[in-house]
Amino acid sequence: MEVARPQQPILRQGYLPYDIVLNILARLPVKSVIRFRYISKSYNSSITTPNFISTHLKNIKDSHDNDNDNGFVIHMPSVTDNIGFQRPVCTVALDRTFDRISELGTPFDFHYIYTQIVGSCNGLLCFANSANVVYLWNPSIRMFKKLPGTCLGQLKHVTLGFAYHPENNDYKVVRISCLSLSTHEIEVYTLSSDSWRSVGRTTGLTATNVMFYDKNNPLPIPLVNGALHWVSNVVEGEENRRSRMIMAFDVNSERFRELALPDGSVDENTFQTFLALFKGKLALIAWEPSEQPGTQYSIWVMKEYGVIESWNKLFVVPFERVAHCIAFTEYGSLLVCYINDQVEAQGFKFVLVDTETLHEKKDPDIQHYSSVATFMESLVLFDGANVVSY
Amino acid sequence: MSSVKKVTLKSSDGEIFEVEETVAMESQTIKGLIEDDCADNAIPLPNVTGHILSLVIQYCKEHTSSSDSNSSKSNEKLKAWDTQFINVDLNVLFDLIMAANYLNVKGLLDLTCQTVADMIKEKTPEQIRAMFNIVNDFTPEEEEEVRRENAWAFEISLKNNNVVDTFEVEESMAKELQTIKNMIEDNYTDSVIPLHNVTSDILELVIEDCKKHVEAAESESEPSYSLASKLIDDPLKA
């Protein structure tokens, strides 16, 4: 069978200047950019500069603004089924419906049982396992990097946050190690220096005595207004009053700032609290008993950052059964799981609820207790040192 | 009588255009000249032909009126207009890019560059070099090494007619299919090859079979062609 060959357009000799060709290349999907890095040596150099990567990222974000409907999430089982040398498979899905788009194998080994996504910024993901091994991974460009070991002596009861530092166009991982109640050590890793640096103990950074930083499991520590936020148990004043407060670690100044929780949001009956992002704003999710049989999630949003009075209880999501919070997407989808205690079908059962409409999606495409984060394509890490391609 | 200020623009081939000042100022270059008081006579634009200049002026007219508070033009309408406007042949598109760059009309430069980007995203590096007249200064060894390092980016996608499933296959496997081999060798193909006559499940079977053939060839054992060739030939018959 003869295949009809289409006419190639007859083109005058190409004469677009170098900068304009780069302008065009910076608008391409990631896979195309990687393919075209080899058109010539000078383009290869230009494409691997931080400037090009930032321009490319900006173009991706601008095109997302025009497409309001869909963002993406990536989720990964936190617990592997077999103990041992199992590489978890990550799933990329639509954030509103969790409809599966594709699957990606993680290129690095996690030899321990519990792994989690620490955070996601500009298409760069941060992973950590229970042995305190931390990786940075950009699945779109198939590159990853294992972080060096801690610069602190011992690590105990660790919690991690991952942030983009716009002032330096850099990425940071913040690790808080709880040596004992009220004694914490904090270290910060920066991608540009590829090293950890101790930032001191909490007493030097706040006026309040922090007893405990809540890990927020399984949700990632949210980055809002250039700060990573932890709910903390604190002891204040001469009477040693105990209360809960939000400790916000400013990524630029590397200092903590205190923010109050909404009035009446948390009391001795609250089961659990989580911090998350809702449409770019800081959100508090309180899991508590409800008046009807069952439990409920109250979702508070801080409408104006830093203004305590602007905390507003926006949604209440009731459940008849004990429903564990797995994820809360930026557009307000709450993903919970029940433990299925029926003999025929053991395991987890998931439900995705749109908090605005309370519309439920039963059996979304997720099977394991997972770690969930936002996902986007980008070239971040393309210019990195000590990076592995696979 | 309208007292709208106008400026006169003269293209490289001598065509004269009278344009409202607000429209002309969509071009930062012309705006600068007007503000420096250099625009009393016709502004010569030696880098832009009359044909292209008329298109640029059309674009500026459309986009100036949309920033008017009286204008009822919505974003969607403007986008639809842009899509129609930019539906020109590649040579004109390149000329528009050069004009938008020279005249510093940001919106037009973004539109034209994005259009070219959308056209080329599935192409091969060879096609890009041809299109932009870029000399390949990698040695064959260097090129081989970098292709191997990012082999996944060079995978060819085979799409079925419903554009539902895309199969990524290595070039060596795709070449097992004579039809596709021809497409590749004729440089016809972008890296997505649409196969209108083949459904996903047949395509999957065919790919599985090609895999076996490639593996068999590599292990220098006798490949069995009979069943395979039936599978390969039949679905691809017109």
- Identity of the residue numbered A283: A
Q: How far is residue B73's CA from residue B65's CA, in Å, rounded to a whole number?
A: 8
Measuring CA to CA, which residue among B90, B83, B93, B89 is closest to residue B56? B93
Question: From A8, which residue of chain B is nearest by alpha-carbon distance?
Answer: B188
Q: Is B97 in Cβ contact with A14 (below 8 Å)?
A: no
B186 touching chain A per CB within 8 A = yes
Residue B128 confidence (pLDDT) above 80: yes
Q: Is B121 in Cβ contact with A32 (below 8 Å)?
A: yes
Angle between helix axes B28-35 and B90-103 (nearest 10 degrees) is 30
Of A180-189, A250-259, A354-363, B182-191, the one with minimum mean pLDDT is: B182-191
The confidence score (pLDDT) of residue B149 equals 82
Residue A294 confidence (pLDDT) above 50: yes
User: Please, which residues 29-88 of chain B have a Cβ atom closer than 8 Å to chain A?
Assistant: none
Largest CA distance in chain B: 89
Residue A355 confidence (pLDDT) above 70: yes
Paired residues of B9 in beta bridges:
B17, B43
- Return the higher-pLDDT residue of A206 and A375: A375
Question: From B235, which residue of chain A is nearest by alpha-carbon distance?
Answer: A1
Secondary structure (DSSP) of B169-234 = E-HHHHTTSHHHHHHHHTT---SEEEETT--HHHHHHHHHHHHHHHHHHHTT-----HHHHHHHHH
> Are A331 and A73 within 8 A, CB to CB?
no
Which chain B residues contact residue A25 at CB under 8 A?
117
Percent of chain A predicted with pLDDT > 90: 59
The confidence score (pLDDT) of residue A112 equals 61
Residue B235 confidence (pLDDT) above 80: no
- Return the higher-pLDDT residue of A338 and B207: A338
- Return the higher-pLDDT residue of A182 and A388: A388
Q: How far is residue B77's CA from residue B73's CA, in Å, rounded to a whole number?
A: 6
Average pLDDT over residues A89-112: 85
The long-range contacts involving A77-81, CB below 8 angstroms and separated by at least 24 positions, are A77/A367, A77/A368, A77/A369, A77/A370, A78/A114, A78/A115, A78/A116, A78/A218, A78/A368, A78/A369, A78/A370, A78/A371, A79/A113, A79/A114, A79/A368, A79/A369, A80/A110, A80/A113, A80/A115
Q: Mean pLDDT of all residues in chain A?
A: 87
Burial class (CB in 10 A: 0-12, 13-18, 19+), B119: middle
> Are A115 and A129 within 8 A, CB to CB?
yes
Which chain A residues contact residue B129 at CB under 8 A?
39-40
Which chain A residues contact residue B153 at CB under 8 A?
31, 34-35
Of A305-314, A369-378, B144-153, B170-179, the one with minimum mean pLDDT is: B170-179
A38 touching chain B per CB within 8 A = yes
Question: From A5, which residue of chain B is nearest by alpha-carbon distance?
Answer: B188
pTM listed for this prediction: 0.81
Paired residues of B117 in beta bridges:
none
Distance from CA of A80 to the nearest CA of B (A): 27
ipTM above 0.90 for this complex: no
Confidence of residue A6 (pLDDT cuts 50, 70, 90): very low
B190 touching chain A per CB within 8 A = no
Both tokens of residue A390? 């696979």
CB-nearest partner of A5 from B89, B137, B186:
B186
Q: Is A11 in Cβ contact with B136 (below 8 Å)?
A: no
